[in-house]
Amino acid sequence: MLFNALLLMPRLLGAALRVQAERLFVTRKRRLKKLTSPAWLAEKMGIEARLVESASIEEVHSGTASRSRLLVRYTEEGGEAAGPSSLFIKSSPPDFGSSLFGVLFGLGGNEVDFYRRLRSDLTIRSPNVFYAEGNSNHYVILLEDLTDKGCDFRTLASSCSFDEARKVITTLGTLHAGFWESPRFGTDLAWVRRLENDRDFRLLDLVRQLSVPIACEKYDDSIPREIVDVIPHLMKNYRKLEDAWAQGPRTLVHGDAHLGNMYMQQGEVGLLDWQVFNYGQGMRDISYLLVNSLTEEIRLAHQEELIRHYLAVLAEYGIHLAFDVAWRQYRIQSVYAWIAGVVTAPSNFQPEAVVSAGLARASNAVLDLDALGLIRKL
């Protein structure tokens, strides 16, 4: 851990300095100011400038990103038919800690790339984008505001019914099928993140080394002793685990497929928050959903049926994935769901009660799927 910390010190200090400089010299208000320009906004919306009278920003909330609403007023000539009354703004977070986290892991820049270079290729529901610019140091994304479009939004703490889970899996399967083993990942999509071009392995390893002991102590009631005992072996062989997660077939995955990053609209499921999308096993999204967004009762009763539904969705697009392959991937990807919970547990991104419940669900999944048996074989 000390070796990794020393190697990463220049990168950590550089990121911290960039974040602080951004906060001091380029304020968020200044960065978003151009969005309120009627002429600029009209151009991005594809309408005549004379139809937009004014625009103002209304704060919503912040987390790993700032979320605001752009309220738009149209001239009498434009009227209500000129365009939407509001748009959604996603931009760099205001506080130092969240900003540093986003810069180190390239979250904002990855999402900008998604909206600029991939959003138009999707056949599933996801917000339309009007503007996306910047990198993880500072970025602005102007999106369709879904709040008045009859959408049902959930949170990380939400759980879904079996029928809702089927709908989510239909969306995920459709997303995956559209990019399944696509040759584009060797050409115009070669930039998409994957294990082969991951420059964050040492950084992630350092974060894991620091956060796992803290999480295990703070949430000891939620993490069984069987898992704690295998952690040293897991950490020692983590690269082998990454290799197992990266085995084909691979596709475009959302990467953070819990219910809080989704919405229901007209009987279909849409996906939000594309900060960690990547090229990997489709079962990562399925496992993440089943472990994090289903009650244990529903998961245990229906996990096999839901995985078979996923395979049936793929089959509709001419893709065959054997159930035994998918099941093994599901088991090993459950470890990812657990690690994601442990790594973020020491932060203040979620209330402690939510974190504790999530760790308990993920721990139980790792145990009842005998993922520990797979870990011991690494």
DSSP 54-105: EEEEEEEEESSSEEEEEEEEE-TTT-GGGS-SEEEEEE--SSHHHHHHHHHT
Mean pLDDT in residue range 181-194: 97
Q: 10-19, 107-116, 215-224: which has the minimum mean pLDDT?
A: 10-19
Q: Quick: pLDDT tens for 79-111.
A: 878 899 999 999 988 777 777 777 777 899 999
pLDDT at 345: 77
pLDDT at 66: 87
> In the structure, what pLDDT confidence band is assigned to residue 148 with cuts at 50, 70 and 90?
confident
Mean pLDDT in residue range 247-272: 95
- Taking a C-beta distance cutoff of 8 angstroms, is the pair 106, 40 a contact? no
Residue type, 295: T
- Whether the pLDDT of residue 292 is over 80: the answer is yes
> In the structure, what pLDDT confidence band is assigned to residue 119 with cuts at 50, 70 and 90?
very high
In the chain, which residues fall in CATH 3.90.1200? 152-376
Mean pLDDT in residue range 12-40: 74
The CATH code for residues 152-376 is 3.90.1200
- Whether the pLDDT of residue 64 is over 80: the answer is no
